[in-house]
Structure 1
Amino acid sequence: MSRRIPLPPPPPPAEIQSWPDREARLVDRALAMDELGRRLLGGRRLTLFLVWFVLLELGWSFVGVALTAFDHGQIDPITLMLVMFSTCVGLAILVPAVWMTVRGILRDRVARERLAQWAALDSHPATDARLRAPTLGLCWLLLSFAMCAVGLWISFAVPAGTSREDGGYGFVAYGMGIGLILWITGLVGLTKAVGHYRFAVRLTGRPGPRSASSGHPRPE
């Protein structure tokens, strides 16, 4: 992976702010808010969101091979070696994917906090309107909603439609794991999309210029 570029820093405290005029402050504010908006909803962030989701499903699929293997009765040594190999590969993929997913969630939280801090400096309709990003926001919303819907359906359909002859407990655990990953990942994306849109709407609807001491809208 390429070296991660750090997030834009928060604005300096009010007592040491040294912009020569309001226009200079607005320029820095626009640059920071545009970059933070891209970090939260941009195409690269959406791609990483999907990549880590695919790796989570892939890792669980390898683990699922081991789960379903034990439902077929006695396991011979060769099958046991394949099961162990599949489990090791699955965990090698699953553990880093979980870690990177959690890291991405925590990084998004920091980005939202800094976005709110920069938004508190002033009010500029053109910059604030760009923050809505309706196309990207809709992509996040629809994709995440589809993940949630499919995940919930799988979580209920697999246990209801599986018998001992069809695969047993191992297949049920495997299917419910697939559904749970879909549902949780979709819920994360859905929360992000809705929260960002609500924050952007409150930001564009506030009256007049604001100073850093006047408070700011809190992101979801």
Structure 2
Amino acid sequence: MSRRTALPYLPPPPPPAELQSWPDRAARLTDRALALDDLSRRYLGAGRLTLFLVWFALLELGWALFSLVFTAFDDVLVVDPITLFLCLFSAVLGLGALIPGVWMTVRSLRRDQVVRARLVRWAALDRDPAADARLRAPVLSVCWLLLSFAMCAVGLWTSFAVSFNTTRDNGGYPLVAYGMGAGLILWVTGLTGLVKAIGHYRLAVRLNGPRPGARSASSAPPRPE
């Protein structure tokens, strides 16, 4: 297993078919249900959603602090040394928040890829209506979907509204730079959440749908009287 996918705190992927040693199907379904519940919680759970919002807030805070440096260089002919120093100090603090925020966001996205890959492999192992129904997680899925959609909408509106409504007298280039950056962070973060929510919904629908090629009870030929 590669270092990227070696996450000991996650349920391991199911063994290959030639190495599977469950005593019966009930034992396999039990292990499958436990793995699906754990992986689903780590993928869409309340704790994962909280971290998603924390990294987003860290990115926005870092950009807000860093963008103050644009104020110092908006008119270098009238800026005083104290203002310049404060803006540069704020930029350093902003980078101190932005860099960990970007690193943790990228790390979380890579971790989500590993979790989803294991979730798909465990789901493909068998079918279990009870465990597959729990995988839907309708409340959490809707929360991810609505929150991510709102972030995308607000991000797009912020980017365009600040650009079109800002003039030299009411903020100038510093406000435009801050608004475009804040809107981009909102839009990209919301887009990652949308992709996750929609992908998980499609997986849950496939699991809870009929098997390929299976006939429904209504399409079966009637029994002879």
Q: TM-score, normalised by structure 1?
A: 0.90
Matched, 1:199 2:216: no
Structure 1: tracts of 5 or more residues without a match: 209-220
Report the count of equivalent residues.
Answer: 205
In structure 1, which of residues 57, 61, 66 is the aligned counterpart of residue 64 of structure 2? 61
5 Å matches for 1:30-49? 30-49=33-52
The residue matched to 2:126 in structure 1 has which SS? coil
Query: Bigger relative contact order, structure 1 or 2, given CA contacts below 8 A and separation 6+?
Result: 1
Q: CA deviation at 1:78?
A: 1.2
Rounded Cα–Cα distance in structure 2 between residues aligned with 1:53 and 1:65: 19
Rounded Cα–Cα distance in structure 2 between residues aligned with 1:158 and 1:193: 29
Residue by residue over 1:66-125, the C-alpha shift from the partner in whole angstroms, topping out at 9 and shown as x without a partner, is: 112322443222112111110110001001100100111111111111011101111000
5 Å matches for 1:1-220? 6-73=9-76, 74-207=78-211
Rounded Cα–Cα distance in structure 2 between residues aligned with 1:27 and 1:148: 39
**Contact 1:149–1:183, Cα closer than 8 Å, also in 2:** yes
Identity %: 67
Q: Which residue of 2 aligns with 1:211?
A: none
Rounded Cα–Cα distance in structure 2 between residues aligned with 1:178 and 1:68: 16
Rounded Cα–Cα distance in structure 2 between residues aligned with 1:156 and 1:204: 41
Coordinate RMSD, CA, aligned: 1.4
The structure number with the bigger radius of gyration is 2
**Contact 1:52–1:101, Cα closer than 8 Å, also in 2:** yes
Q: TM-score, normalised by structure 2?
A: 0.88
Runs of 4+ in 1 over 4 A off after TM superposition: none
* Counterpart residue identity of residue 45, structure 2: G
**Contact 1:148–1:182, Cα closer than 8 Å, also in 2:** yes
Q: CA deviation at 1:6?
A: 1.7
**Contact 1:71–1:167, Cα closer than 8 Å, also in 2:** no
* Counterpart residue identity of residue 65, structure 2: F
